[in-house]
Structure 1
Amino acid sequence: MLRLAMMAAVCALAACGLPRSGPSKSEIYAGSVERGGDAHIIYVNNHVTRTANFAPSYGFSRAFQAASAVGADEIRSGDVLGIAVWENVDDGLLASLGASSTQLQQIQVDSSGNIFVPYAGTIRAAGSTPDRLRQTITDRLSSQTPDPQVTVTRVAGDGATVSVIGKVMSQGVYPIERPTRTLSAMLARAGGVSIEPEVAVVTVKRGNEAGKVSMTELWSSPSNDIALRPGDIVLVEEDQRSFTALGALGGQTRVPLGNETINAIEAIAMVGGLASSLADPTGVFVLRDEPESVASQVLGQPVYGTQRMAYVLDLTRPNGLFLARDFLIRDGDTVYVTEAPYVQWQKTLSAITGSASTADSLSSIGE
């Protein structure tokens, strides 16, 4: 009697409490939209691979790409100027006795865009070029000293700067100068990226807008090498795109994607393949939140809002491996493999036989 009671208890426990790696195939199906759940169960076929397969890429908007390069000679507030004046008299307005030229102290353009030059007064400098400013100062001084000769140079172009931060060799605030007017040139000015270029992502923040591009896309497409603007923030970081592998696989982990495009077969192989003693090859799921436009095409009917999709890959079908090879994995996907039905039976039988042995031992002790 004791043995039968214990075996009955074990059977009841096995039905609801045996350890496992996750939900069974039938339990996932029970959560489908057709059965009152909130996930669409979709068997992958050629139509699905065509409509659901796209690899979102980074890139800059038209506004970023259409922005013209900053004029390297344009003067801005914050720039430091060097001004020299030559006069054709021995005792000039600015020159000391016996000297024919005056090198004015380096002058910084103030926040209003103005500078002050002795005897020429306050002059608007921002928005001008050194040559135009030179002419303006010359005109102002001509009425006070005969035939003045003026030179104007930008000593430091700190009025047009870009902040470069993140995974670069040398973070800092860099001026936009003639050699550093584009994104790639500014990254080179900062010493290049300090991580593997294949996993590096560059974000440019401009006002309330932001654009993002991978280093490989920056190299491969000239349109991504955008012109920088004053005040831009350039951030370099490691690509965070990934998928998660769970269930009856060789490993259960979060797998970085980087800039790679991989399919379901490659995703399974990256974590050690199917666990041969556990996995159900008819129950390979790719769980994904699908955008409205893609979900409508996959389902063949209009839907509204993001949809939860459970794509089913049956690797035992004649074309199952081909379909899995053609089905692309995206950022945020969960690849889940269910356990084969017999695995639970094995666990149940193991629990029963093990407990039966325990019952025999208890019975012998009781005698």
Structure 2
Amino acid sequence: MDFSKKLLFTAVASLLLAGCTVVPGSHLSLPDNKQQADNDAFNVSEQVNVYPLTPSVIYQSKRPEVTARTNPALDAELTGYEYYIGPGDILNITIWDHPELTIPAGSYRSSSESGNWVHADGSIFYPYIGIVQVGGKTVTQIRDEIARRLAAFIESPQVDVNVAAFRSQKAYVTGEVNTPGQQAITNVPMTLLDAINKAGGLAKEADWRNVTLTRNGVEQDISLYALMQRGDLTQNRLLRPGDIVHVPRNDAQKVFVMGEVNAPQLLKIDRAGMTLTEALSSVGGINELEADATGVFVIRNVRKTNKVHQGNKANLDSADNTQLADIYQLNIKDAAALVLGTEFELEPYDVVYVTSAPIARWNRVVRQLLPTITGFNQLTEGAVRVRDW
């Protein structure tokens, strides 16, 4: 073997060995990835749980089924609802057969302009009887007190009290609704669903599943998907003064589809959810020439998933959070297995990864070597022409 051939053989062999060590592109191989880090002996395989995607695993991972349900507790609240007067409200007080005690609205004044303004201390002034404390009382209680006190001046007074303007109590709807802002609490009870509708409904980028209701500094998680799409009325609430309803953006409702698929990309989970098969379909399916059909993986970050669903800071130092991820493996060598994928629901921040087939990884190594081989061939041919000349 002459010098040029020896040089070519040595270079190709060295590159081939290097190519076998570091294959171009990424690859996921489970469960035999028992490689430790150089410095701290960190074993990734010990930090993940690997589950073949079988009907039993799918059944265990499914969310509880959302069904239509009534809400007797809310019905009872609505039946017994009463409005309590507060500072800023305006009352209309009528004493029948005594027009001198009733301020008429007139042609240029509305009933709110001609009524009795409730002062900051919760009181109003009324002729004959003076200061009346009305704050925190219902109109029935106010009517009874005024009638009782007027009885010293008028025989059998007939008193009527109503609210001309509701100004003291408000709830707030913020976030991804078409008209965010404050909404007045009135003598007509307002539920969370009523407030969302008054705010113009949900915006396009709203996250239906993770709405929060903050009351007295305490947050409640509410699923508008369950309420509005599935008819689960237990998700509805009667709003109280100071309540804050926040509809977040759906930025967290995303999954990542990577690896040997035709169009790797980030996908948004819509309000109905997304299954594994839907995700694969959205990216054009797997690459039939280079994908390993036995290696369709869903990598689920356990800590991130818990943080999204629980809505609080994950405790990374807790003994209960030793696992990094759950990995689910779907074998679609038989295309009928995609039926299983239609039942497996993806969670926010899931990574769908389709690994490459061994022949594809070998082809990448060869493609990496081709420029070097071509260069050595040209060098050899040039040396031969010089020798013959």
Query: TM-score w.r.t. structure 2 length?
Result: 0.74
Partner secondary structure for residue 30 of structure 1: coil
How far is the alpha carbon of 1:278 from its aligned partner? 1.7
Partner secondary structure for residue 186 of structure 1: helix
Counterpart amino acid of residue 27 in structure 2: P
Aligned to 2:19: 14
1:108 to 94, 104, 117: 117
The alpha-carbon distance between structure 1 residues 19 and 57, as it changes in their structure 2 partners (threshold 3 A), is farther
Partner secondary structure for residue 100 of structure 1: helix
Aligned to 1:248: 260
How far is the alpha carbon of 1:353 from its aligned partner? 3.0
Does residue 329 of the first structure (1) align with residue 346 of the second (2)? yes
How far is the alpha carbon of 1:268 from its aligned partner? 1.2
The alpha-carbon distance between structure 1 residues 318 and 258, as it changes in their structure 2 partners (threshold 3 A), is closer
Partner secondary structure for residue 20 of structure 2: helix
Does residue 71 of the first structure (1) align with residue 64 of the second (2)? no
Note the alpha carbon deviations across 1:244-288, whole angstroms, 9 max, x for none.
211111222221112224432222112111012221001111112
1:312 to 329, 337, 347: 329
Compare the two structures and name the one with the higher strand fraction. Answer: 1
Aligned to 1:93: none
Partner secondary structure for residue 340 of structure 2: helix
Aligned to 1:25: 29
Kept in 1: contact 2:225–2:271 (CA 8 A):
no
Aligned residues: 345
Work out the CA distance in 2 between the residues paired with 1:136 and 1:256.
59
2:182 to 173, 197, 217: 173
Partner secondary structure for residue 366 of structure 2: helix
The alpha-carbon distance between structure 1 residues 170 and 43, as it changes in their structure 2 partners (threshold 3 A), is closer
Query: TM-score w.r.t. structure 1 length?
Result: 0.78
Extract unaligned runs of 5+ from structure 1: 89-98, 295-302
The alpha-carbon distance between structure 1 residues 188 and 46, as it changes in their structure 2 partners (threshold 3 A), is closer
Aligned to 1:96: none
Aligned to 1:358: 375
Aligned to 1:225: 236
Partner secondary structure for residue 177 of structure 2: coil
Partner secondary structure for residue 68 of structure 1: helix
Kept in 1: contact 2:172–2:183 (CA 8 A):
yes
Kept in 2: contact 1:279–1:337 (CA 8 A):
yes
Kept in 2: contact 1:141–1:148 (CA 8 A):
yes
Aligned to 1:183: 192
Work out the CA distance in 1 between the residues paired with 2:266 and 2:32.
21
Kept in 2: contact 1:218–1:224 (CA 8 A):
no
Work out the CA distance in 2 between the residues paired with 1:231 and 1:59.
29
Partner secondary structure for residue 25 of structure 1: coil
Counterpart amino acid of residue 33 in structure 2: Y
Note the alpha carbon deviations across 1:61-89, whole angstroms, 9 max, x for none.
x999588237354323442222345675x
How far is the alpha carbon of 1:52 from its aligned partner? 2.1
How far is the alpha carbon of 1:30 from its aligned partner? 2.9
Work out the CA distance in 1 between the residues paired with 2:68 and 2:379.
71
| Identity, % of aligned positions | 24
2:132 to 123, 131, 140: 123
How far is the alpha carbon of 1:232 from its aligned partner? 1.1
Aligned to 2:271: 259
Work out the CA distance in 2 between the residues paired with 1:35 and 1:188.
49
The alpha-carbon distance between structure 1 residues 24 and 218, as it changes in their structure 2 partners (threshold 3 A), is closer
Kept in 1: contact 2:297–2:354 (CA 8 A):
yes
* Mapping 1:142-153, distance limit 5 Å: 142-144=151-153, 148-153=157-162
How far is the alpha carbon of 1:191 from its aligned partner? 2.7
How far is the alpha carbon of 1:344 from its aligned partner? 1.4
Does residue 287 of the first structure (1) align with residue 296 of the second (2)? no
Note the alpha carbon deviations across 1:78-102, whole angstroms, 9 max, x for none.
42222345675xxxxxxxxxx7344
Q: RMSD of aligned C-alpha atoms? A: 3.8
Work out the CA distance in 2 between the residues paired with 1:170 and 1:79.
24
Aligned to 1:236: 247
Work out the CA distance in 1 between the residues paired with 2:86 and 2:322.
47
Kept in 1: contact 2:93–2:162 (CA 8 A):
yes
Note the alpha carbon deviations across 1:21-43, whole angstroms, 9 max, x for none.
x2332587336999863112222
The alpha-carbon distance between structure 1 residues 190 and 310, as it changes in their structure 2 partners (threshold 3 A), is closer
Work out the CA distance in 2 between the residues paired with 1:306 and 1:168.
39
Work out the CA distance in 2 between the residues paired with 1:204 and 1:246.
36
Note the alpha carbon deviations across 1:140-160, whole angstroms, 9 max, x for none.
233245555543221112223
Counterpart amino acid of residue 58 in structure 2: T
